Amino acid sequence: MIVESRQVSRDLSDETDVVVIGSGCGGATVAKKLAEAGKRVIVLERGGYFTAGRGDLDQRSDNMLARIDGARGLGTSRNTEIAMMYGNCVGGASVHYWADSWRLPKDRNDLYLRAGLEGHAPEVLAPIFDEIEKDLNVHPAQPEYFNRMNQLFDLGAKKLGWNTETVRQARKDCRKSGHCYQGCAYDAKQSQLVTHIPAALAAGARLYADCQVDGISRDGQGKANGVAASFIDRATGKPSGHKLTVKARYVVLAAGGYSSAVVWLKSGLPNGSGQVGRNLFLNPCPYLYALYDEPVVMWENIPTATGAMDFRLARYDNGRYVEGGYLLHPNQLQAEFVAATLPGFGEEHRALMNRLPNIGSAVSWIDDENPGQITLSRDGDPLYDYRLRGVDILKVRDAMKKQALLLFASGAREVIVPDMAGTRLRDPKDIPVLDKIDITGGAILFGGPHPAGALRMGKDPALSVIAPSHEAHEVPNLFVADPSVFPRPPSVDPSLTIMAFSVVAARNLLQRLT
């Protein structure tokens, strides 16, 4: 059963075993596991319910940003340095992600275990990953899904002597439309919208869409026992005037890396460690454009069929940063996003846009080490403080230099930096300029697609918010199942790791429920 705001004409109340806040990779996975075990489950999703079957996913970026993206695609950090990329719809960010599907690397898993995340060892997660990959039809990208930008990426990497790897994809019967970020209009991308959400509903879970959680309630002993929520008018994004109250034995907070800490703070939950909202990592994404003599049409087919993993781990020499600390991939942006982010105005911008099919791009995901913080304004609105600093600036510059090297090696005639100054590189000899250009404070807008850490997990309640069981240290019966619990980002796309951790959370909940 799915209830949308337009169907609600009065205040509602409900009761369940578990209420899940959020329907993305974490919330949908928990809901599926609990419902299939016979438990009563209610899922609350602030965003709307949009499906390919109803024609909602129309591949128009202006429509889809408003429908499935948080803040309608316009949210940024306070200094405008980071574009906050997250989902606001049933299925969460998985509806607009690129379907790249990575297991948690062993070196990062070892780091998590050293941080006290017992119960998440490789031997525990491996069979869970097996199950998830089967559910989502995860497989290596086949050659027919390599668009010209993917082919050029491999060509450039080979000339430079860099290793590339085919990226595993969560897809089935892909139509190669290139509109992955706008929500798949063919249900080919195996997002939570077409996998775990339908499975949870088929097992008896109920879902309220357009339903914003105002606060998590607690009983006299401080235990979580439900939520208070408001239905949202989809057209305006404002409360419709109707409320929902849910009484539950357990609450699962899975609103996502940007939103779960906000729900916690707005609920006035305990914060004895002072860690709530801190440790916000988000994998900032620097990218460069390139002009080729041939058509590239980078917005066709799938985004990242290939990538270079040689630089995932940062290299240091006696404590001094040398290189790396990021993934390196071909980029995919639709024409309207290219137009919005290419530098220049007037005739200069028009000249670039006239060569649009010949523009390609490379992108990196920085494994950031210097976190930001989520707080609330006096009016209760979320504030996201994040700025590039320290070694993360060095990583960004190194990533951009590696991108430029690869783009030139693949045949690019010119490399374009999407900065306020409109910096252009016309020869590999110009690459050192990237060590000097301004990249902070909004001079370049970086994507922030993978928020993590704002409710971090650990054994010590003085240093963490969530226990290794996924239950809150200070709020019994409240579990967290999303990337907020990661002590550090996974260093790869986090979707599979979020799901695997959420299975662990669901198992621990089932033990309590039975």
- Which among 112, 238, 70 is positioned nearest to 494, based on CA atoms? 112
Cβ atoms 298, 153 nearer than 8 A: no
- The torsion angle over the Cα atoms of residues 481, 484, 490 and 492, rounded to 10 degrees, is 90
Residue type, position 310, single letter? D
Calculate mean pLDDT across residues 377-399.
97
| Chain centroid to CA 370 | 18
Tokens in use for 268? 């006035």
Q: Judge whether residue 514 has pLDDT over 90.
A: no
What are the pLDDT digits (tens) for 416-438? 999 999 999 999 999 999 999 99
143-177+283-448: CATH class: alpha beta
Calculate mean pLDDT across residues 67-75.
89
- Which among 18, 40, 384 is positioned nearest to 225, based on CA atoms? 18
2-49+89-97+102-135+191-280+452-513: CATH class: alpha beta
Cβ-Cβ contacts under 8 Å for 480 (sequence gap 6 or more): 252, 253, 254, 260, 455, 457, 465, 466, 470, 472, 505
Query: Of 59-63, 111-115, 475-479, 498-502, where does mean pLDDT reach its minimum?
Result: 59-63
Q: What percent of the chain has pLDDT over 70?
A: 100
Cβ atoms 366, 396 nearer than 8 A: yes
Cβ atoms 36, 199 nearer than 8 A: yes
325 by Cβ neighbours in 10 Å (0-12 / 13-18 / 19+) ranks as buried
Cβ atoms 37, 242 nearer than 8 A: no
Q: What is the pLDDT of residue 359?
A: 98
pLDDT confidence tier of residue 66, bands split at 50, 70 and 90: confident
Query: Of 160-169, 231-240, 459-468, 499-508, where does mean pLDDT reach its minimum?
Result: 231-240
Q: What is the pLDDT of residue 77?
A: 96
**Which residue spans within 267-420 are E strands per DSSP?**
287-291, 306-307, 315-317, 320-323, 326-330, 359-366, 373-376, 382-385, 414-416
Per-residue CA distances from 481 to 106, 255, 427, 496 (Å) = 21, 9, 47, 13
Cβ-Cβ contacts under 8 Å for 214 (sequence gap 6 or more): 227, 228, 229, 230, 266
pLDDT confidence tier of residue 456, bands split at 50, 70 and 90: very high
Cα Rg of the chain (Å, integer): 22
| Chain centroid to CA 321 | 27
Q: How confident is the prediction for the chain on average, in pLDDT?
A: 96
Query: Of 15-29, 59-73, 97-111, 384-398, where does mean pLDDT reach its minimum?
Result: 59-73
Q: Compute the distance between CA of residue 261 and CA of residue 28 in angstroms, rounded to an integer.
A: 19
Would you say how long the chain is, in residues? Answer: 514
What are the pLDDT digits (tens) for 175-218? 999 999 999 999 999 999 999 999 999 999 999 999 999 999 99
pLDDT confidence tier of residue 62, bands split at 50, 70 and 90: confident
Domain boundaries, the chain: 2-49+89-97+102-135+191-280+452-513, 143-177+283-448
Q: Judge whether residue 17 has pLDDT over 90.
A: yes
pLDDT confidence tier of residue 392, bands split at 50, 70 and 90: very high
